[in-house]
Chains A and B, each alone.
Chain A
Amino acid sequence: MELMEGNDVGFATCGDKNEEIGIESLQFGEEIQSLMSVPPETGSSFTALLELPANQAVVLLHSPESHEAPAELSGEVWRNGSIDHPKPYQPQSFACTPTFPSNTALLERASRLSVFAATENSPETTSIPSNSSATSHKVKQEPIESYSNPDSSPILSDPTVLNKNQKSTKRKEREKKVKGATKKIKNAVNDTSEDGEKLPYVHVRARRGQATDSHSLAERARREKINARMKLLQELVPGCNKISGTALVLDEIIYHVQSLQRQVELLSMRLAAVNPRIDFNLDGLLAAESGSLMDGNFPGMFMPPIWPEGCVNGNRQHYQQLWQFDGHHQPVWGRGEDNLNFITPANSLLSYDSSANNSGKLYSNITRVIVHLPCFSMSTEIISTSRKSVGLDYKFREHSDIVNCYQVSKH
């Protein structure tokens, strides 16, 4: 276990808090992993819908670090904004906790906001660890339901059954309440989402002087939804914040997506040009990786001479040589830096037998992809069998399927 802790320390020094949290989540196991990846995709925009209009709720809802693992994706999205750590789970636990009071009297909305925040923390903290996988399903189902339903019910004939996310409209209404006197209130039934199949009713309020028939209300709800998401996009795409007007913002977004796609093309061209055989013989990648090592760090200076030139097959001997060399330099490094961690996912990246004679093997020309990314640790996930250790471990094990995993953190 100390190995893991050491790793965490190493990660922490990378300076990316979310990385650390992500690694912690790895320790929780695969279910957390799936939580990280799945719910934010479907729910992230919803959380944006919820979080963006109500910043103070976000701050209030901020829960302890262990729950931030699920928030990784959405957390990244809103870094730019004023939100520190939006909680994709928090709002969704709204619907997931049956104790949550339903929206009845709208006059108490403002006061309720703080009440919600206070009550949410406790149910959330208890519910998340236990119901993590269960809630993820519910969470996933709700957004998916709401996706599919607007498609399937093109005409919103029934005003009381609007297939939208109840929570998002509720939050919007809090905003609206500030703006004007209410003219009409539609009562909605709170969907406890125990089953997650029924779609919540929508609580829509009309502003003063606005049409209150079902169509316009539905349209307005739809427009609000679109606007909230556009705001999210604006935050994400750089340079969009100052622009007003949907068409111009869309212009920026289109330009951004096109430039990203062009970059992918260029990079794949570069990669194709570099390698005549699409083999990534990257023994020296560790040192050669731009940014971290080549800045003249000790490790960076020592690494290039260590690795022999060009095409090396997955030789164990090579490795041994490598690591022994490392050992010589350890005292030098040891002085300067506490944390010398190297990441080398090696040939046994995908649990291939590196000790086998590679000429005959299918992957003989792919030796190792060693990607050293200081803030991006490739850990056990990528390496089927790996061993993490702090500092240099230049004892090379005989078995081919063991990979020593090191991290070099730049100080």
Chain B
Amino acid sequence: MGPPSSIKKKFLKKWITGLQICSSSKENMSLFERKKAIKLSADVAMASARNATTCWSRALIANASKDDNNKILVDHILGTESERLKKASIGSVMCNNKRVRSKKILKKSCSFRRVKKMAPQMVLASSIAKRLVKKRTLVLKSLVPGGEAMDESSLIEETLDYIISLRAQIDVMRRLANASEHLNLK
């Protein structure tokens, strides 16, 4: 079963706003610029459909609003709440960075190390497993927007939410693309 239609509706609504703004901005855009504009508007629309309740959406909005080129677009998509959302996003991103750094400092300062006695093979196996998992979590963190600032459990939750939102986004975009292609063929 796909993502719920409420998300899709919200996304589409905001995305259409963004697209309309895109179209009115420049006359001759190259393919790549158009694609970038479309993708950006879709992403921001998706993130704002989440109303900045999730970490990845906040990070997305923060990243998008950093770039001055996109300012108008982002503002319009975010709508009336744009100021509040942007502040919340940027604030939370900065908080996260600080939090991450302070956690690391604290962990280093904590000297208590518990000794676990295990057979040498088991030690090796478990350490290998841990390393593998650690590598993959790093990759996942790089994939999910704003992932670096999350601990494992919230990372997994964010991934969950992100996957659902991505699916909704893809669904809507695909339908739109199919329909407009059909139209152009006629």
Contacts and interface: CB of A to CB of B under 8 A. Distances in A.
Contact of B173 (A230, A271, A363, A376): A271
A365 interface: yes
Interface stretch (B64-72, B83-91, B162-170): B162-170
A222 B152 CA distance: 10
Nearest to A148: B99
Interface residues of B, number: 79
B154 interface: yes
B141 to A, nearest CB: 10
B160 A215 contact: no
Interface in B110-157: 110, 114, 129, 132-133, 136-137, 139-140, 143-144, 151-154, 156-157
Contacts of A72: 4, 6
A42 to B, nearest CB: 7
A76 interface: yes
B31 A264 contact: no
Contact of B181 (A226, A270, A277, A375): A270
25 contacts: A19-B5, A41-B53, A76-B2, A216-B114, A226-B153, A229-B153, A229-B157, A232-B156, A257-B159, A272-B38, A274-B177, A275-B34, A284-B179, A284-B182, A285-B183, A289-B175, A289-B179, A290-B179, A304-B186, A349-B16, A363-B20, A366-B19, A371-B179, A375-B5, A378-B12
Interface string A233-247: 100110000000011
B137 A77 contact: no
B34 A290 contact: no
B81 to A, nearest CB: 13
A151 interface: yes
Interface of A: 16, 18-19, 22, 33, 36-38, 41-42, 44-45, 72-73, 75-77, 79-80, 140, 147, 150-152, 154-155, 215-216, 222, 225-226, 229-230, 232-233, 236-237, 246-247, 250-251, 253-254, 256-258, 260-261, 263-265, 267-275, 277-285, 288-290, 294, 304, 309, 349-350, 362-363, 365-366, 369, 371-373, 375-379, 381-382
B37 interface: yes
Contacts of A369: 16, 176
A76 B5 CA distance: 10
A288 to B, nearest CB: 3
Contacts of B161: 41, 44
A254 B144 CA distance: 10
B80 interface: no
A273 to B, nearest CB: 7
A72 B132 CA distance: 35
Contacts of A381: 9-10, 13
B180 A271 contact: yes
B172 to A, nearest CB: 8
A350 B16 contact: yes
A155 B110 contact: yes
Interface of B: 1-10, 12-13, 16-17, 19-20, 22-24, 29, 31-32, 34-39, 42-43, 50-51, 53-54, 99, 103, 106-107, 110, 114, 129, 132-133, 136-137, 139-140, 143-144, 151-154, 156-157, 159-164, 166-167, 169-170, 172-184, 186
Contacts, number: 242
Contacts of B167: 260
A27 to B, nearest CB: 13
Nearest to A154: B106
B164 A73 contact: yes
A140 B99 CA distance: 21
Contacts of A155: 106, 110
Given A236-B164, A250-B137, A378-B12, 10 more contacts: A37-B53, A72-B6, A73-B164, A250-B140, A268-B173, A272-B31, A282-B176, A284-B179, A284-B186, A376-B5
Nearest to B104: A154
Interface hub of A260, A265, A377, A379 (most chain B Cβ within 10 A): A260
A72 B99 CA distance: 33
A154 B178 CA distance: 50
Interface hub of B17, B39, B162 (most chain A Cβ within 10 A): B39
A351 B51 CA distance: 22
A225 B10 CA distance: 31
Contacts of B144: 257
Contacts of B20: 350, 363, 366
Contacts of A269: 31, 35
Contact of B6 (A36, A309, A373): A36
